[in-house]
Amino acid sequence: MTKQSTATGLAITLRSQFHNTSCRVRVHADGTLSARQIARVRRENCGQSYCECGGIHGPQYLNDGRKIMLEPRWGAGTNDAPSRYVVLVRSGDGDWQPLRVAEQS
Protein backbone atom coordinates (compact mmCIF):
# COMPACT_ATOMS: atom_id res chain seq x y z
CA MET A 1 0.00 0.00 0.00
CA THR A 2 2.76 2.45 0.78
CA LYS A 3 4.80 1.74 -2.32
CA GLN A 4 4.46 4.37 -4.99
CA SER A 5 6.29 4.52 -8.29
CA THR A 6 5.63 8.20 -8.83
CA ALA A 7 7.90 11.19 -8.85
CA THR A 8 7.03 12.16 -5.29
CA GLY A 9 6.82 8.72 -3.72
CA LEU A 10 4.64 9.91 -0.87
CA ALA A 11 0.99 9.23 -0.34
CA ILE A 12 -0.93 10.32 2.71
CA THR A 13 -4.26 9.17 4.07
CA LEU A 14 -6.87 11.76 4.93
CA ARG A 15 -9.78 10.70 7.12
CA SER A 16 -13.23 11.66 8.15
CA GLN A 17 -13.69 10.38 11.66
CA PHE A 18 -17.30 11.36 11.34
CA HIS A 19 -17.97 8.65 8.72
CA ASN A 20 -14.98 6.44 9.57
CA THR A 21 -13.78 6.79 5.98
CA SER A 22 -10.36 7.46 4.52
CA CYS A 23 -8.84 8.36 1.18
CA ARG A 24 -5.23 8.25 -0.03
CA VAL A 25 -3.74 11.12 -1.99
CA ARG A 26 -0.29 11.62 -3.41
CA VAL A 27 1.51 14.71 -2.21
CA HIS A 28 3.10 16.84 -4.92
CA ALA A 29 6.84 17.36 -4.88
CA ASP A 30 6.37 20.83 -3.39
CA GLY A 31 4.52 19.37 -0.41
CA THR A 32 1.07 20.49 -1.47
CA LEU A 33 -2.22 18.97 -2.51
CA SER A 34 -4.29 20.45 -5.30
CA ALA A 35 -7.85 21.66 -4.89
CA ARG A 36 -8.86 18.83 -7.22
CA GLN A 37 -7.31 16.24 -4.91
CA ILE A 38 -9.04 17.71 -1.89
CA ALA A 39 -12.32 17.69 -3.79
CA ARG A 40 -11.84 13.97 -4.47
CA VAL A 41 -11.12 13.29 -0.80
CA ARG A 42 -14.25 15.16 0.24
CA ARG A 43 -16.30 13.24 -2.30
CA GLU A 44 -14.93 9.82 -1.36
CA ASN A 45 -14.91 10.36 2.40
CA CYS A 46 -18.27 12.08 2.67
CA GLY A 47 -19.99 13.02 -0.56
CA GLN A 48 -22.86 14.77 1.17
CA SER A 49 -23.05 18.44 0.39
CA TYR A 50 -25.08 19.18 3.48
CA CYS A 51 -22.69 17.39 5.86
CA GLU A 52 -20.62 19.48 8.22
CA CYS A 53 -17.64 17.11 8.32
CA GLY A 54 -16.30 18.39 5.03
CA GLY A 55 -14.81 15.00 4.19
CA ILE A 56 -11.69 15.69 6.29
CA HIS A 57 -12.64 15.54 9.92
CA GLY A 58 -10.76 14.81 13.13
CA PRO A 59 -6.99 14.57 13.64
CA GLN A 60 -4.90 13.60 10.62
CA TYR A 61 -1.63 11.70 10.68
CA LEU A 62 1.17 10.57 8.42
CA ASN A 63 1.86 6.85 8.19
CA ASP A 64 4.70 7.34 10.67
CA GLY A 65 2.31 8.81 13.22
CA ARG A 66 3.26 12.47 12.99
CA LYS A 67 0.30 14.78 13.07
CA ILE A 68 -0.49 16.83 9.98
CA MET A 69 -2.83 19.61 9.00
CA LEU A 70 -3.75 21.24 5.73
CA GLU A 71 -3.24 24.94 5.20
CA PRO A 72 -5.26 26.38 2.33
CA ARG A 73 -3.52 28.70 -0.12
CA TRP A 74 -5.38 30.97 -2.42
CA GLY A 75 -4.02 31.65 -5.87
CA ALA A 76 -3.50 35.18 -7.08
CA GLY A 77 -6.67 36.92 -8.15
CA THR A 78 -9.06 34.42 -6.66
CA ASN A 79 -11.16 34.96 -3.59
CA ASP A 80 -13.38 31.93 -3.55
CA ALA A 81 -11.99 28.41 -3.18
CA PRO A 82 -8.35 27.72 -2.24
CA SER A 83 -6.25 26.57 -5.16
CA ARG A 84 -3.79 24.46 -3.17
CA TYR A 85 -3.31 23.06 0.31
CA VAL A 86 0.07 22.97 2.02
CA VAL A 87 0.63 19.86 4.14
CA LEU A 88 2.04 20.92 7.51
CA VAL A 89 3.69 18.42 9.84
CA ARG A 90 3.94 18.81 13.58
CA SER A 91 7.52 18.40 14.70
CA GLY A 92 8.71 17.07 18.04
CA ASP A 93 8.83 20.52 19.62
CA GLY A 94 5.32 21.37 18.52
CA ASP A 95 6.08 23.56 15.54
CA TRP A 96 4.18 23.14 12.30
CA GLN A 97 6.46 22.86 9.31
CA PRO A 98 5.77 22.18 5.64
CA LEU A 99 6.04 18.52 4.73
CA ARG A 100 9.27 17.79 2.90
CA VAL A 101 8.40 15.13 0.41
CA ALA A 102 11.97 14.14 -0.41
CA GLU A 103 12.69 12.94 3.10
CA GLN A 104 9.73 10.60 3.13
CA SER A 105 10.57 8.09 0.43
Kindly state the smallest distance separating residue 1's Cβ from Zn ion, in Å.
24
Q: Which residues in 9-48 contact Zn ion (CB under 5 A)?
A: 46
Residues touching Zn ion, count (CB under 5 A): 3
CB of 11 or CB of 53, closer to Zn ion? 53
Helix (H) or strand (E) holding 39: helix 35-45
Residue 25 zone, left/alpha/beta (φ > 0; ψ -120 to 50; rest): beta
Q: Which residues in 42-61 contact Zn ion (CB under 5 A)?
A: 46, 51, 53
Q: How far apart are CA 16 and CA 80, in angstroms?
A: 23
Footprint of Zn ion on this chain (CB under 5 A)?
46, 51, 53
